Amino acid sequence: MSNRCNLIRDILPLYVEGMVSTDTREFVREHLKHCEECRAELEHMQKPADPIPDADIVPLKRIKKELFVKRLQTVFFTAILACAIVTVAFGILTSPEFFPYSDHLFRVIDGADGSITITFDHKVTGYSCVKEFDNETQTEIYRINAWTTTWDLYSSNRGKQNMIIPSDRENKIQIFYAQNDGSEDVLIYGINENTEENGVTLPRLILMPYFLLAIAALIILAMMRFLLKNKSAFTIWLDRMLLFPISYIAAQLCTKGICFTTYSSQRDFCILILVTILFYFATLTGTSLYKAKIAPSQKKDEKKR
């Protein structure tokens, strides 16, 4: 290190603070251009000054980010809750109301090619058909039903519904109309050779086991939550898991009430699961927003203690 370098090092603190004359500043600058060691020294001296503005920026950035996340959560919460309400309303409005059997409900016409056409009355907006095969009597058995929905009553007419049952004329055909109200199915085509009754199409109790499962899960998780209440690592996850059976139970009550039987099990179950998922994410974001809201006041309480 040269003498000049020593001199420069003595001046550098003042130079950094900008407390040197123009000539001195020029002198230092000129030296720094050519001396790598002094340049490094200058950089070293300037560094400690940096964290001071940073210290202010970092919390500000964090607050901005937190605010952004909170706003995003609020938008997400509102959107998903709106989706859930729309889905529940859609489920209720489009739930099929089955028609009981009557002479005017449909006409059964034999086609020239052996097929059978069932033409429903204009008030019927939907139908479904279940096919079975009786090996003993070599008979194809069809059980059909017809319905309309609240939605269809107020929306435009869908026109006449036609249903065609193809036949190769090898098997006998029986068609029953399932009334779906607990009363006996009505034979509308073919001959019932069995002296037995026509049978009753029963609703499926598919929703009950899932509901009981949700209640069991809720009780078990609530008990675990109580026992592990001091272990925050577990309670965070338990709280999240608890929301799922709660969402399922809420979805069941919103879409089907306390009715656990269904004649359209696939449809009802799909809507139920969709509403459950929407409720789950809505409650998840909702609780996170709620916690963020009460967290600052809790912190204040802790400080007081």
State how far the alpha carbon of 142 is from the alpha carbons of 126, 184, 189, 256, 296, in Å: 16, 15, 9, 28, 65
Between 40 and 129, name the residue whose CB sits nearer to Zn ion: 40
Structure tokens at 159: 């026109």
User: Could you say whether residue 35 binds Zn ion (CB under 5 A)?
Assistant: yes
Nearest approach, Cβ of 67 to Zn ion (angstroms)?
49
Nearest approach, Cβ of 68 to Zn ion (angstroms)?
48
| Segment near Zn ion (CB under 5 A); pick from 1-9, 217-225, 248-256, 257-265 | 1-9
Nearest approach, Cβ of 38 to Zn ion (angstroms)?
3
Helices (H), the chain: 3-17, 22-34, 36-46, 51-93, 150-154, 207-227, 232-255, 265-304
Between 5 and 108, name the residue whose CB sits nearer to Zn ion: 5
User: Could you say whether residue 81 binds Zn ion (CB under 5 A)?
Assistant: no
State how far the alpha carbon of 243 is from the alpha carbons of 202, 218, 232, 277, in Å: 33, 9, 17, 10
How big is the CA angle at 19 (ends 18 and 25), to the nearest 5 degrees?
70
Contact pick of 12, 28, 38, 282 for Zn ion (by CB under 5 A): 38
Contact pick of 5, 11, 14, 222 for Zn ion (by CB under 5 A): 5
Nearest approach, Cβ of 24 to Zn ion (angstroms)?
15
Between 5 and 206, name the residue whose CB sits nearer to Zn ion: 5
**Total number of residues binding Zn ion (CB under 5 A)?**
3
Buried b / exposed e over 98-113, threshold 16 CB at 10 Å, is bbebeeebbeeeeeee
Phi-psi label, residue 146: left if phi above 0, alpha if psi -120 to 50, beta otherwise: beta
* DSSP E strands, 106-226: 106-110, 116-120, 126-134, 139-148, 162-165, 172-177, 186-189
| Segment near Zn ion (CB under 5 A); pick from 2-10, 20-28, 162-170, 224-232 | 2-10
Nearest approach, Cβ of 8 to Zn ion (angstroms)?
5
The Cα–Cα gap between 158 and 65 comes to: 51
Between 34 and 303, name the residue whose CB sits nearer to Zn ion: 34
Nearest approach, Cβ of 6 to Zn ion (angstroms)?
8
| Segment near Zn ion (CB under 5 A); pick from 10-18, 30-38, 93-101, 204-212 | 30-38
Nearest approach, Cβ of 31 to Zn ion (angstroms)?
6
| Segment near Zn ion (CB under 5 A); pick from 29-37, 123-131, 208-216, 237-245 | 29-37
Nearest approach, Cβ of 301 to Zn ion (angstroms)?
59
Sign for the CA dihedral angle at 51, 52, 54, 56 comes to positive
| Segment near Zn ion (CB under 5 A); pick from 5-13, 98-106, 117-125, 164-172 | 5-13
User: Could you say whether residue 214 binds Zn ion (CB under 5 A)?
Assistant: no
Instruction: By CB under 5 A, name the binding residues for Zn ion.
Output: 5, 35, 38
